[in-house]
Structure 1
Amino acid sequence: MKQVSERIRQIRTEKGWTLRSLAEKSGVSASALSQIESGQVSPSVATLEKICAALDLPITLLFDDPANGPDPQIMLAGHRRKVYSATSHATIEPLARGLPDKKMQPILLTLDPGGVVGESPYAASEGEEFAIVMQGTVVFEQNGKTYPLQEKDAVYFDPHQPHNWKNQGREPSVVLFVVAV
């Protein structure tokens, strides 16, 4: 999470924004932002989404490496960067880094039992999202409705509408997201 915290601070300062201005744009308090940037707290996935929306960048840019040219970017399972959110009880694993001008952002999300992406339903700023449950079970919530999903179930949805993900099971759940940007 340290790299993510440092990247948020770097992008905010590059834009010339104060903590207060980012707080106003993101809806995350300045004190919480300060604690996130200093690595004192682990933000939820939804809070990271809010911060990235305010900064006008996809969440995976927090994990990106510099562009490596036109060569394919191979992401071996044991060598991918992972970030754990203690608040969400979730591991975020970006699956496409280093390619400039990406049109989609694939992300692997592992939710521990009892894990929840956002403290409350949240909206994202990206175009469209697709998700498929690779392992376990999750509950997808949107527009006041809940949708229990099992392994191999998929959902294509508008992330601009408030939504959330929960693992109410006893085993970790793994969900593959593809976000169109």
Structure 2
Amino acid sequence: MDPAEPVSRALAANLRAARQARGWRLEDLAERSGVSRGMLQQIETGRTNPSIATLARICSTLGVSIGRLVEPPEELGHVVRAAEVAVRPAGAGGQARLLINDGRAELWDFLIAPGEELRSPGHPEGTGELLHVNTGELAVTVGGAAFSLGPGDALRMRGDRPHVYANPGAEPVRFTMTVIYGGRQDPRYAV
């Protein structure tokens, strides 16, 4: 494979996306940038690589950096496969799975058995949590305030205070939670 091929593919896709996000046709970008429609079409289909000068004119017109237009797709998103997710015990018969994180936020999937509870001393200052109950009943206590949630309910809460997640029901409770760090990330789950 030509080493420039991944860059050409990224440039083609990113240029097309940037142009379309502005509602511009190839003709519109050509007129604004001074780069011919034919050249733009060849770039967007990956049939040619523009000179730096041509790329600079296109980027200036779109208001984006050259780096942004040649950014490979893997920099735009990252997939974590189910088999890669670590499962941690959560009480007797429960589990906590850190599905994905990016250094600023974490997405968790929890399963808590009936009668079980999970306690947290609180995360770093400025941390918040968003919870969504999928199945079962969830009782949450944070900083002395109590919340009862059922299937489909969601809660936004402070994560920087001691908190408890409890299952008061007769069935397991499954919920997803996003932890959003306002300052530094909890070192226990750092990327």
TM-score (norm 2): 0.49
Query: Match for residue 66 of structure 1?
Result: none
Query: Match for residue 21 of structure 1?
Result: none
Deviation at 1:145, TM superposition (A): 3.0
- Does the alignment pair 1:95 with 2:95? no
Aligned pairs for 1:117-136 within 5 A: 117-118=118-119, 122-125=121-124, 127-136=127-136
* Identity over aligned pairs, percent: 19
Deviations 1:147-172 (A, max 9, x none): 11001111111112222110011111
Query: Match for residue 81 of structure 1?
Result: 86
Summarize the Cα distance change of 1:125–1:149 in structure 2 as closer, same or farther, 3 Å threshold. Answer: same
- Does the alignment pair 1:148 with 2:114? no
Q: Which has the larger radius of gyration?
A: 2
| Higher share in helix | 2
Asked if structure 1 preserves the Cα contact closer than 8 Å seen for 2:90 and 2:118, the reply is no
Q: What secondary structure, in the 3-state scheme, does the structure 1 residue paired with 2:131 have?
A: strand
Deviations 1:106-161 (A, max 9, x none): 1111111111002xx63222621111111111101123232110011111111122
Distance 2:176 2:167 in 1: 14
The one-letter code sitting in structure 2 at the alignment partner of 1:80 is V
Q: What secondary structure, in the 3-state scheme, does the structure 1 residue paired with 2:129 have?
A: strand
Query: Match for residue 158 of structure 1?
Result: 158
Task: Report the number of matched residues.
Answer: 107
Summarize the Cα distance change of 1:79–1:170 in structure 2 as closer, same or farther, 3 Å threshold. Answer: farther
Summarize the Cα distance change of 1:76–1:171 in structure 2 as closer, same or farther, 3 Å threshold. Answer: farther
Deviations 1:24-78 (A, max 9, x none): xxxxxxxxxxxxxxxxxxxxxxxxxxxxxxxxxxxxxxxxxxxxx6363334446
Deviation at 1:180, TM superposition (A): 1.0
Summarize the Cα distance change of 1:134–1:149 in structure 2 as closer, same or farther, 3 Å threshold. Answer: same
Deviations 1:81-112 (A, max 9, x none): 2111346x531111115xxx532111111111
Distance 1:78 1:152 in 2: 26
Deviation at 1:79, TM superposition (A): 5.3
Asked if structure 1 preserves the Cα contact closer than 8 Å seen for 2:95 and 2:112, the reply is yes
Asked if structure 2 preserves the Cα contact closer than 8 Å seen for 1:136 and 1:172, the reply is yes
The one-letter code sitting in structure 2 at the alignment partner of 1:85 is A
Asked if structure 2 preserves the Cα contact closer than 8 Å seen for 1:139 and 1:149, the reply is yes
